[in-house]
Chain A
């Protein structure tokens, strides 16, 4: 996990994103236990309330589940779900940004399409 403490992205969001990424990569496999709030807080020197806020976001998104007295576990189907979440984000945020930047630089739709096609061929 990596946290950019000077990033403008809220820290709890970064905690959420890093755990999401670990679920996507399979580093935190489905049905396995994820590190505790205490472990994450200590290793990365982040206030425990912030870590908890990030983890609760994953519980709200149905990616983690709390097992009372034991800890947090990755839910079955979480990996596919993260993929869907990220795909959505890519289409709705990244692509929009690219098109906007292209427009600002006077790159036409045809030019951009051609560049994307070339990227796929590589």
Chain B
């Protein structure tokens, strides 16, 4: 099963929120969708899930257009920050409502999750704290029969222990029933090991889409005296630059393997989070602080 997003754009009056986004999502992968605030992540997820319309472009699941196609949409689920649930219902009723819409619901797995998170299924949704609202929505997202599960800021308000529980159960259910999980999050470090594919969106466009490993191999930081750093990185793709007195740091993308490093320079690889920060930083942003 393949979900293809082809040249999707979204325009609000004269503001282009999404600009020709093209992506494919395959079953059997966990995707990390990264982007700064306002990058267009939620808009994209809402379009894929038929909650809003694209100005142009298509979302196609195995050759079938997804928009207003109930059959195709049944394979896709979005857990978003917006509360679309009737908040007078208790959690158990929300499970039943989901079952009604999607045809089935994994009550057995839901029972495990309910125990692990110590949530009371008799509690009304509106009575839940922010963290527990996220938990209730997460349980639903992990138990729907859909094949494409989009999670928009899934761990919002969850404490460290609950996040730990969530990641473990996510991997557990992913291994038992391979699906595609697409996780949009600001907690980059936490998904570095979980996601095997990364998509970076910036200002409404895809900046990069690659495996987590490729990205981790691609970025380095070169530190040393300014003239030497500049000479060494002259032919390279520079993402960002910082200076501290005479010490210059240049962040490089697609670092050429086997480069011979001059003695006065140190080259060290970047974590995914550092890579993201320096790739999406606007010119000079880090130096203005």
Q: Which residues of A contact B216 (CB under 8 A)?
A: 8, 10
Please pick, from B213, B263, B271, the residue contacting A10 in the complex, using a CB distance under 8 A. Answer: B213
Q: Which residues of A contact B174 (CB under 8 A)?
A: 48
A33 contacts the other chain (CB 8 A) = no
A16 contacts the other chain (CB 8 A) = no
A45 to B212, CA, bound (A): 15
Interface residues of A in 1-15 (CB under 8 A from B): 3, 5-6, 8, 10-12
A102 contacts the other chain (CB 8 A) = no
A20 to B271, CA, bound (A): 24
For the complex, would chain A's binding face be called helix, strand, loop or mixed by DSSP majority?
helix
Query: B168 touching A45 by the CB < 8 A rule?
Result: yes
B196 contacts the other chain (CB 8 A) = yes
A49 to B268, CA, bound (A): 26
Chain A 35-54 interface mask (CB, 8 Å, partner B; 1/0): 00110011111111110000
Task: Looking at the assembled complex, report how far the CB atom of A10 sits from the nearest CB atom of chain B, in whole angstroms.
Answer: 6
User: With A38-B175, A45-B168, A50-B196 as given contacts, are A5 and B189 in contact (CB-CB < 8 Å)?
Assistant: yes
Query: A45 touching B189 by the CB < 8 A rule?
Result: no
Task: Tell me how many residues of B have a C-beta within 8 Å of chain A.
Answer: 23
Q: Which residues of B contact A11 (CB under 8 A)?
A: 193, 213
Which residues in B have some Cβ–Cβ distance to A below 8 Å? Answer: 30, 164, 167-168, 171-172, 174-175, 189, 192-196, 212-213, 216-217, 263, 268-271
Query: B269 touching A42 by the CB < 8 A rule?
Result: no
A3 to B194, CA, bound (A): 13
> Looking across the interface, which residue of chain B has its beta carbon closest to that of A50?
B196
A21 to B217, CA, bound (A): 24
A14 to B263, CA, bound (A): 28
Query: A48 touching B171 by the CB < 8 A rule?
Result: yes
Task: Looking at the assembled complex, report how far the CB atom of B97 sits from the nearest CB atom of chain A, in whole angstroms.
Answer: 30
Counting from the closest, the 4 A-B pairs by CB-CB distance are A8-B269, A47-B196, A45-B167, A46-B193
> Looking across the interface, which residue of chain A has its beta carbon closest to that of B192?
A5
Task: Looking at the assembled complex, report how far the CB atom of B8 sits from the nearest CB atom of chain A, in whole angstroms.
Answer: 27
User: With A6-B271, A8-B268 as given contacts, are A46 and B194 in contact (CB-CB < 8 Å)?
Assistant: yes
Query: A49 touching B271 by the CB < 8 A rule?
Result: no
A116 contacts the other chain (CB 8 A) = no
Task: Looking at the assembled complex, report how far the CB atom of A96 sits from the nearest CB atom of chain B, in whole angstroms.
Answer: 15
Query: A49 touching B171 by the CB < 8 A rule?
Result: no
A-B contact pairs, 26 of them (CB 8 A): A5-B189, A5-B192, A6-B189, A6-B271, A8-B270, A10-B216, A10-B217, A11-B213, A12-B213, A37-B175, A38-B175, A41-B175, A42-B168, A42-B171, A42-B175, A43-B168, A44-B193, A45-B171, A46-B193, A46-B194, A47-B30, A47-B171, A47-B194, A48-B175, A50-B196, A104-B263
